[in-house]
Structures are given as structure tokens and as C-alpha cells.
Structure 1
Amino acid sequence: MSAADRMKVLLFLALFTGASGALFTLLCCGTEYWLLAADFCLCQPEDRVTMFHQGLFWRCVFTAASSDFSILEFWITCLPLPVSCTPPGLDRLPLRAVPTLFRTFWSIFLVSGVTAVVIGGLLVLCAAPLTNRSLYSAGGALQICGGVCLLVVMAMYLVWVQVLDTLEQFAAHQRSVSGCPSYQLSVQQGPSFLLAPAAGFLCLLAGLLFILVGRGVQGVQTIPGPSETEL
């Protein structure tokens, strides 16, 4: 296999990985299923449960009739009406500064990551077919930046939910305000959150492959072709 053929195979792998990373990025950042939760009081005569799914932009709340819930109950086609969607965050939590601060940084890293992935993909498309080394390198660098931003968004979300004990504070606050000592809050990570590490990894891999393509393009262009006397 010649050097040009190897470069075409490498470019195909880079484009496939980049397209998959961009698709996963749009799915994890454009859907509101990062956090799935349900809160209810066991002392209530009717087993009415307030359920919500939350993403990076919206928090949608609806009422269900059972405390046993699954991921399928959160999809839009299965949600009972009415559904109320507001900006995310635990609005009834007294210490709102931490969620607000984290939402601000989520937005910064999220917008930076998506923008870097999109612009990097456009640069790579403009560089085809194997002619512009600088565009491949720049597109690969932007893909890497986008992947890092997505991983930072995921890490900050984990810090907010797991390390800062924000949900535990919210549950304790609700027990005191509602007067229900048996108040329960059930939380699990949603499919949007699970797509984030895959999107970040694919963007990082695509960026490295595009940088290799850029270096390979320079090597192919410096290989002298056959002279007229040799032909």
C-alpha cells in the first residue's frame, strides 16, 4: 500500500470518528436527560410522585401516580400532561449560589465544546481532499479542545451531584419545609449523561487522527514524483 493510500485510510477513520463524536455531542448536549429524579412523601394518602428530568438548559417536571419509575417514563412521548419546563437547578434550595455558579461554567464549557467541534469539522471538510496540512492540524486541535470541554462538563456535573451533596441538602430542606419526615428523593443518571464520555473520547480520538493526517499530508507532498526521463 502506498503512502497516499495509507493517508486515505487514515482520513476515512478520522472522518468517521469525527462524525460519530459530533453526533454524540449533539445528542448529549441537546437532550435534557442528564439527571432523572422523583420525589414523594410516604405519608400522603395518595401515592402522587413529582418526577423531573434535567439537562444543561431545562428542567421538566410532571406528576406520576407511582414511585416506581424507569427511564422509559421520562421520554417525551410517554410524559403525562401537563409538563412544566424551567431553567435547571434546584430552585427551592436555600444555597443557590453553588448551582448558579456551576450552571454558568457548564454553559461556558458546553458552548465552547460544541463550537470547537463544529468549527473543527468545518475546517477539516475545507481541507479535503488531502491538500491543506494546516487546516487538518487546526481542525484536529479544535476537536481535541471540544472533547476536553465535554469531559469537563461531565466532571463538573458529577462534582455538583456527588461531591457537593447538593441533592442531599435539597432533600433535607424539603423535609423541614413540607413537614413530611418520610420525604424521599430518588435520583439516577440519564442517557444524556452516559453519552458525554463517549462523545468526549471520540472527539479526542478524531482530533489526534486529524493531526496525524496533517503531518502525513506534509510527508506525502514532500515525496518527489517520477521524473520525465524515468518515465
Structure 2
Amino acid sequence: MKLSVGIFFGGFFGALGILFFLVAFGTDYWLLATEVGRCSESLNDTMEEKITFHHEGFFWRCWFDGKVDDNANSMWKFWYMNQSPSKNCTHAYLSPFPLLRDEYNSTAYNSAVIYRGFWSVLLLLGVVTVIVASFFIICAAPFGSHVLYKAGGGFFITAGILFTLVVVLYVIWVQAMADLENYVIMKKIDCPDFSLYARYGWSFMLAPVGIFFTIFSGMLFLLVGRTIYLHSD
């Protein structure tokens, strides 16, 4: 009875972890940014207030102009429900810096491309690992094989570690490699009152939850495999 409960919860938490991963890495709200500035118009040299919103993930980067009030609820609806029909999107790997960089040197650009490529490989390895883990668990159920349960649990934990590395590399990319301060300085040339507000979005918040469920599922399956092995002697 206890063994079946462990298998059930292991599979349940594993499925939850995979679901959270699919939603987190498949959506484009890892980084949210708002640019606000009074920019000079070249024709009549007047100042015009401009607000640009950005949201981006691993695969897509989008931006659009608009105006919102200070109400938190309307802000939430604006980000996720009432976006401008003129929204522009591009593949994230085509512009490997956070936000849209108007100018960058080739060395920094190449470094950012290599960095994004590295974490993309880790993400792909994590996806393959969690698929293999699921395959082992499915094969272990009919035969009650402790080897397959242990292998599946080990692969689930490995997938969690790989996804953890992806999240850590993303944080380093935003906090250290993005160089948002220079981006703001560059923007202030045309917009003296320019300011940038950047924060992590809900897609980013879902990833650690998926990591927790995946690692916890792997630990349960390792425990199930050990229990089967002890009772088989």
C-alpha cells in the first residue's frame, strides 16, 4: 500500500514538474520591462512622452507602445490581455541582449550569442533527460523493476539540476551580462528623462516550482526503487 502511494505521488509530482516546465519555457514572460521617457522629435524639436513595454522569453521577444495608469490591476490586464495590436516580435536569438539594443560592439554581441547558445544546449539536455526519465518510469510500472525506478528517479533529479543551471545562467545573463546601465545611458542621449523598469515575469517564477516538483519526484522514485530492492531479497 505504501509503495503504491509513493509511485502515485512520484508520478503526480513528476507530471506537475513537466507541466510547469512546458508552461515556463514555452511562454515569453521571463523578463518584463517598461521604458518611459520624454524624447525629442527631430522635426520640430519638441518633447514627447513615450512608453514602451517589453516582454521576452527564451524563444520570442516582443515590444509595443502604450499608456497605462498606476492601477496594478489595469497594469496586469494590459501586460497579458490588452496588448497593442501593433506589437512587434522577433526571435530572441536574433537579439541576444535583454530588450532591444540599438548599438553594441561585435565582441559583446558574439559573447552574448555564445552564452545564449550554451544555456539553450542545457535546456535541450534537460528536456531530453526528463523525457527519458518518464520513459523509464512507464516501463518500470508493469514489471516493478527497482533498477528502472532508480534510473527514472536519477534522470528526474538530473533534469532538475539541468533546469536549475538554465535558470541560474538566465539570472546571470540579466544581472551581469546585460549591462542595462549602459543601455539607459545610451537612451538618455535622445530622451533626457528616460527611465527603465525591469523585473522578472511569471514565466520565470514557474521554473523554480517545476524544478522542485521534478527533484522531489526523482527522490520519491529512488525511494520506491530502494524499497522494492529491499523487499525482493
* TM bucket normalised to smaller: 0.7 to 0.9
Query: In the aligned structure 2, how far is the partner of 1:165 from the partner of 1:37?
Result: 13
User: Paired residue for 2:199?
Assistant: 188
Query: In the aligned structure 2, how far is the partner of 1:116 from the partner of 1:24?
Result: 16
Alpha-carbon displacement from aligned partner over 1:121-170 (angstroms, at most 9, x marks no partner): 12211211461222211111111111111111111111111233522222
User: Paired residue for 1:56?
Assistant: 58
Does 2:137 align with 1:141? no
Give the secondary structure class of the aligned counterpart of 2:192: coil
CA offset at residue 87 of structure 1?
2.0
Give the secondary structure class of the aligned counterpart of 1:78: coil
User: Paired residue for 1:204?
Assistant: 215
Does 2:109 align with 1:109? no
User: Paired residue for 2:31?
Assistant: 35
Alpha-carbon displacement from aligned partner over 1:77-124 (angstroms, at most 9, x marks no partner): 421112221122334341323432221122111111122112211221
Change (3 A) 1:220 1:78: farther
| Matched residue type, 1:56 | F
User: Paired residue for 1:92?
Assistant: 102
The structure with the larger Rg is 1
Change (3 A) 1:175 1:39: same
Q: Give the TM-score normalised by structure 1.
A: 0.84
Give the secondary structure class of the aligned counterpart of 1:39: strand
Structure 2 unmatched runs, 5+: 41-46
Residues 144 and 204, structure 1, Cα contact 8 Å, conserved in 2: yes
Change (3 A) 1:159 1:20: same
Alpha-carbon displacement from aligned partner over 1:56-84 (angstroms, at most 9, x marks no partner): 11101111124858343222x42111222
Query: In the aligned structure 2, how far is the partner of 1:173 from the partner of 1:60?
Result: 21
Query: In the aligned structure 2, how far is the partner of 1:92 from the partner of 1:126?
Result: 52
CA offset at residue 43 of structure 1?
4.3
User: Paired residue for 1:7?
Assistant: 3
Residues 68 and 78, structure 2, Cα contact 8 Å, conserved in 1: no
> 5 Å matches for 1:15-34?
15-34=11-30
Deviates more, 1:195-204 or 1:42-51: 42-51
Change (3 A) 1:101 1:71: farther
RMSD: 2.0
Query: In the aligned structure 1, how far is the partner of 2:3 from the partner of 2:206?
Result: 30
User: Paired residue for 2:77?
Assistant: 72
Give 4+ residue runs of structure 1 displaced > 6 Å after superposition. none
| Matched residue type, 1:199 | G
How many residues are paired up? 215
Change (3 A) 1:165 1:83: closer
Change (3 A) 1:99 1:130: same
Structure 1 unmatched runs, 5+: 223-231
Q: Give the TM-score normalised by structure 2.
A: 0.84
Query: In the aligned structure 2, how far is the partner of 1:180 from the partner of 1:97?
Result: 28
Percent identity, aligned pairs only?
33
